[in-house]
Amino acid sequence: GAGVSQSPSNKVTEKGKDVELRCDPISGHTALYWYRQSLGQGLEFLIYFQGNSAPDKSGLPSDRFSAERTGGSVSTLTIQRTQQEDSAVYLCASSPRGPGRETQYFGPGTRLLVL
């Protein structure tokens, strides 16, 4: 079956602009995660959605970052007033409910460059 997909693959934006990154999880997966991979900080957890529960936003670096998940499927990560330090690869992952829920399957990522 199809894996996790993310769009766009690459995004170049100017400092101060807003960007939206999209994630389509594996069909039927109830948990969805966003991570950021940057040169200085490595791979960092950002936010976690599980079903209809309130998301775990503990990894979001500032209030410029937000995410939503509509209908328990597609998720959008929004970065407002982008800064150069936001340049990174943003990875999305999903995992199923029940057996195997501990294993996360990653998408190819969105490479964001803020000029």
By CB under 8 A, name the binding residues for another protein.
4, 31, 33, 35, 42-45, 48, 50, 56, 59, 91, 93, 95, 101-109
> Least Å distance between CB 81 and another protein?
26
Which pair of tokens denotes residue 28?
């039927």
Cβ(82)–Cβ(19) under 8 Å?
A: yes
> Least Å distance between CB 74 and another protein?
17
Nearer to another protein by Cβ, of 36 and 114: the residue is: 36
The strand pair at 88-95 and 110-114 is best described as antiparallel
Nearer to another protein by Cβ, of 50 and 80: the residue is: 50
> Least Å distance between CB 87 and another protein?
16
- Vertex 33: Cα angle to 93 and 91 (nearest 5): 55
Q: What are phi and psi of 84, to 5 degrees?
A: -60, -30
